[in-house]
Amino acid sequence: DALKGFWVCDVNGVLGVQSKGGEGRTPLSEEQLPFARDDASVGLSLLEAARVAKPTVVLGLSAVGGLFSEDLVRQVASTCDRPIIFPMSNPTSKAECTAEQAFAWTDGRCIFGSGSPFEPVTLSDGRHFIPSQCNNMYLFPGLGLGASLISARVVSDGMIYAASVAISECLTEEEKALGRIFPDIDRIREVSLAVAVAVAQSAIDEDIARELPSLVMEGKETLTQYVESRMYDPVYVPIVNPHS
């Protein structure tokens, strides 16, 4: 049922077991096959598919700059109060649309995240938005720290999910009001700490932690203290006292 909710398009339109006419299409890869449709939608263009499917999310992984046209974005926004617009391609020249376009074409209603960095956006009515770049730096440092501190046997789906939830819970109301979907980068150490704690706790709960210092078993507060004490502080310290 979940797969039916995905309408995946390539240069030939909506993926299907066969394209319209059955010819002229590169065979689908093993990864594409689960998303291939067998109905009348096969071969529809991106805009045509949006009109039929009425999606709430458009995810760009094409590396085709400008693929998300104004007509497409406005179509998605016409059937969804808070359309999710994710042009994930980079560099910026290959982004499917810009942050300014996404916010303008949805009247500031979109939830925006991108693979490339974009400058803050101010709409004609004065509303101000700060686009978020979807960067793995929010997750990987904390994921690695949390997993290593308790010597997790594996990195489970549950640990990755816990990391994702921890990132979302770090967002402040002020950041949400500015259109952010990730916390301010200036708080990255705070975010990494929260992620590491969540990952370690998930591994403990799943019984896949091989090392459990007594401190971590006393509750979240002591677990947080333990993780924080193991975080590297990247600062230069003087080796020679200049006054000696």
Would you list which residues are annotated within the binding site for (S)-malate? 90, 135
- Please give the distance of CA 13 from its chain centroid, rounded to a whole number: 24
At 58, is the secondary structure helix, strand, or coil? strand
Burial class (CB in 10 A: 0-12, 13-18, 19+), 243: exposed
Tokens of 81: 């109060």
Indicate the annotated binding residues. Answer: 90, 135
At 144, is the secondary structure helix, strand, or coil? helix
Amino acid making up residue 177: A
Whole-angstrom distance, CA of residue 37 vs CA of residue 52: 14
At 14, is the secondary structure helix, strand, or coil? strand
The neighbour count for residue 194, using CB atoms within 10 Å, is: 22
